[in-house]
Amino acid sequence: MPIQTPDWVKNAVFYQIFPDRFAKSKQPHQGKLSDKKSRVSYNVSFEPWEAPPTLQGYKGGDLWGVIEQLDYLQDLGINAIYFTPIFQSASNHRYHTHDYYRVDPLLGGNEALMALLEAAHRRNMKVVLDGVFNHASRGFYFFNDILENGPYSPWVDWFKVKDWPLSAYDGNKPANYVGWTGNRALPEFNHDNPDVREYLMEVGEHWIEVGIDGWRLDVADEIETPGFWQEFRDRIKGINPNAYIVGEVWGDSRQWLDGTQFDGVMNYLFCAPTIAFTAGDRVQMEYVSELSYEPYPPLDAPGYAAEMEHLLNLYSWEIQLTQLNLLDSHDTARLIAIAGGDRASVELATLLLLTFPGAPSIYYGDEVGIGGGLDPHSRRSFPLEKNWDLEFLHCHKQLIALRHSYPALRIGHYKIVFAQGQTYVFARTLGSSELIVAINAGTASASVNVDSANLQSQPSQILYGSAEIGRHSEGASNYLSLKLPPRSGCILGSNRS
C-alpha cells in the first residue's frame, strides 16, 4: 500500500511557539486565572516580559495572546502553528505534564484553546500540539498516588518502579524509579502496561476530536513498545485522516517513516549540514557540541550537496514532502547565536530552508532577530516592535511569499545542478515551472556556469536576492552564467504557476 501523508502539510509554513514567551494577552484575561465553574479569578504575578529569562520563571504568555497575534502571523505568511506543550504543568516549558486533559490555567485553560482553534481555523491555519507521552511528572495524579501510598497504590504498574521507598525529591537517596534521562521530575511511563497504552491513545484521540490538526511527539524514538506508534497512527488517522503526526527524532528515522507510524520527523538531518555550510567556521562550538546533531565541521558546496543527496535518498518522496524542516528550536541555541552573530549565515540558511522539500518551521522570533544561546536564553520573550530587526523580517516575508506563490518550491522535484567551492545551485521543477536557487557561501564573489542541459528552462527573472545573469556557449554546450556577490543567494524564475 502506498505511503499517504497529509496534503496540507506539503503546503504549510509552520511557526513554532513556546507559549510562555510569545504573547501575553492585552485583553482582560491578562494576569488572571479563570475557572468558569467557580467563577473565581486569581491575581498572578510574572517576571517582567523584557527581563532575561530564567530556568524556572514564568513570563505570562498565554493562548489569548496568541489569538491576538494571528493577524501578525497571517501577514508573515504562516499557515500552521506548532505549540510546545500547553497542558497543566509545574514548569514554564510544560514538559512536566500534570493533566493531559486540561490546558494550563496560566495559558487560559481549555476555553482559550477552543477559542484559538476557532480563530486559527477561520484563517485556514492549522494547529499542532506537543504530545509528551514518554513520561509524565511527579505532579501527575497517577504517579502522585504512588508517592503517597507506595506499593499499595493501584497505579504502581503504570511506571517503572525498581525498589522502595521512592525518593522523588531527595537527590542523596536513590530514586528507585526510572526517570527520563535520570531526571526524577519526569517518571517514565510503563508502555508495556495495556492500561497505560490505552490511556495515552485516548488522550491523543480526545484532542483530535476537539479539533487540533496533529501531534508532534516528544522523544518519540524512546517509546520502544512494539506496535505502540502503529496503533497511535491508526487511531488518530481513524478520526482525522489528514491529521499530521510528526516525531522528535534527531537522526536517521527510516524505522519510523515507513508509512505505518509518522508522517515526518523534526528534520535535524537538514538543519545540521545547512548550518555547517552557511555558517562554516563561524559556528560557536559551546552551543552545539553537547547536542545530538552536529552542525560542524564546516562544509563546502560539494560536501553540502553530498549531505542533501543522502538525505533526499533516505526516505520516500511522499515523506520528504511532509518532513518538519528547521534551523533551530527550543532545544537548541538560536541560529544567530550559533553563527556568532553573522547575519549572512542566518539569511542564507533561511533561503535554503524556505526552498527545500518539506514543511519549513520558523522558531518564534527568528524572523525579527531574537538571539540567545542555550536554554533558557533561546526561550526569550518575543521582543517589543521597536526592537524588531526589520531586515530579517523582510527577508522572511519575501521568502515565505515566494514559497506560497510557486508550487515548485513546495512540491517540485529537487535537482542539484552545480556544487563547487562555496557555491551551490539547485533547481526546483514542477511541470513547466522551474526555479533556480543559487547560494554563494564564500567571502568572495563567485562566477558560475550551469550547463543548460541540466535545466529545462532559461530563467531570466530575479525573484529574490541579486545576481548578474548571462548566457554563453562552448562548442555544442550552452551555459547559464551567474555572478553572485559574496555571502549571498538568489532565486531565479521564468514561469509563474
C-alpha cell at 61: 504568555
Give pLDDT, residue 254: 98
Stretch 249-275: mean pLDDT: 98
Band (474; pLDDT cuts 50, 70, 90):
confident
Q: Which residue has the cell 522502595?
A: 164
Stretch 477-495: mean pLDDT: 91
Give pLDDT, residue 496: 53
Residue 38 has pLDDT above 80, yes or no: no
Residue 32 has pLDDT above 70, yes or no: no
Distance between CA atoms of residues 286 and 337, nearest Å: 10
Q: What are the backbone angles phi and psi of residue 303, rounded to the nearest 5°? A: -65, -40
> In which element (H, E) is residue 209 found?
helix 194-210
Give pLDDT, residue 453: 87
Residue 75 has pLDDT above 90, yes or no: yes
Residue 35 has pLDDT above 70, yes or no: no
Residue 52 has pLDDT above 60, yes or no: yes
Please tell me whether residue 489 adopts helix, strand or coil conformation. Answer: strand
The secondary structure of the chain in percent helix, strand, coil, rounded to multiples of 5, reads 35, 25, 45
> In which element (H, E) is residue 426 found?
strand 423-430
Give pLDDT, residue 355: 98
Stretch 208-221: mean pLDDT: 98
Give pLDDT, residue 43: 80
Q: Which of 218, 328, 347, 389 is catalytic?
A: 218
Give pLDDT, residue 39: 40
To 5 degrees, how large is the angle CA 280–CA 281–CA 283? Answer: 85
Band (497; pLDDT cuts 50, 70, 90):
very low
* 170 noted as active-site residue: no
Give 354-371 pLDDT, tens digit per residue: 999 999 999 999 999 999
Give pLDDT, residue 140: 98
Band (36; pLDDT cuts 50, 70, 90):
low
Of 166, 181, 189, 21, whose CA–CA distance to 97 is shortest? 189
Determine the angle formed by the axes of helices 109-122 and 194-210, rounding to 10 degrees: 50
C-alpha cell at 27: 485583553
Stretch 157-185: mean pLDDT: 97
Residue 116 has pLDDT above 90, yes or no: yes
Give pLDDT, residue 41: 57
Domain ranges of the chain: 7-134+189-405, 412-493
Distance between CA atoms of residues 234 and 172, nearest Å: 44
How many Cα atoms within 13 Å fall on the side-chain side of residue 21? 32
* 218 noted as active-site residue: yes
Distances (CA, A) of 289 to 16, 284, 357: 24, 9, 27
Q: Give the homologous superfamily in CATH for domain 412-493.
A: Golgi alpha-mannosidase II (2.60.40.1180)
C-alpha cell at 338: 550559533
Residue 167 has pLDDT above 90, yes or no: yes
The CATH number assigned to the domain with range 7-134+189-405 reads 3.20.20.80
Q: Which of 248, 347, 367, 434 is catalytic?
A: 248
Residue 44 has pLDDT above 90, yes or no: no
> How far apart are the two ends of the chain, measured CA to CA in Å?
31
Q: Which residues of 203-235 are buried (b: 16+ CB within 10 A; e: fewer)?
A: bbbebbeeebbbbbbbbbbebeeeebbebbbee
Kindly report the average pLDDT of the chain as a whole number: 95
Determine the angle formed by the axes of helices 268-278 and 343-354, rounding to 10 degrees: 140
Band (27; pLDDT cuts 50, 70, 90):
confident
